[in-house]
Amino acid sequence: MLEFQSTVDRHMAVRLLTYVGLLYQDLLKAGEIGPSEPLPPVLPIVLYNGSDAWTAQTSLHALLAPEVPDDLLSWQPELRYLVLVEQGYADAELAAQRNLVAALFRLERSRTPADIERVLANLIDWLAAPEQTDLRRAFVVWLKRVLLPARVPGAEIPNINKLQEMRDMLAERVKTWTEEWKAEGLREGRKAGEAKLLRRLLMRRFGELPDWVDGRLGEAGEAELEVWADLVLDAGRLEDVFADRR
Q: Kindly list the averaged pLDDT for each block of 10 residues, start to end, along the chain of length 246.
A: 93 96 95 92 94 94 90 92 93 89 90 82 91 91 86 76 86 65 59 76 79 79 77 76 62
- 4 lies in a domain? yes
Which of residues 88, 114, 143 is at a domain's end?
88
Which of residues 33, 55, 88 is at a domain's end?
88
Q: Which amino acid is at 76?
A: Q
Q: Which amino acid is at 242?
A: F
SS (H, E, C) 172-225: HHHHHHHHHHHHHHHHHHHHHHHHHHHHHHHHHHHCCCCHHHHHHHHHCCHHHH
3-state secondary structure of 237: coil
**Closest alpha carbon to 88 in 55, 53, 57, 64:** 53
Q: What pLDDT shows up at residue 22?
A: 96
Cβ–Cβ contacts within 10 Å for residue 42, how many?
14
Q: What pLDDT shows up at residue 215?
A: 80
| Tally of domains within the chain | 2
Q: Which domain holds residue 9?
A: 1-88
- 19 lies in a domain? yes
- 75 lies in a domain? yes
- 124 lies in a domain? no
Angle between helices 133-142 and 163-206 (to 10 degrees): 40
Q: What pLDDT shows up at residue 20?
A: 96
Q: What pLDDT shows up at residue 211?
A: 81
Which of residues 69, 88, 107 is at a domain's end?
88
Greatest pairwise CA separation for the chain in angstroms: 79
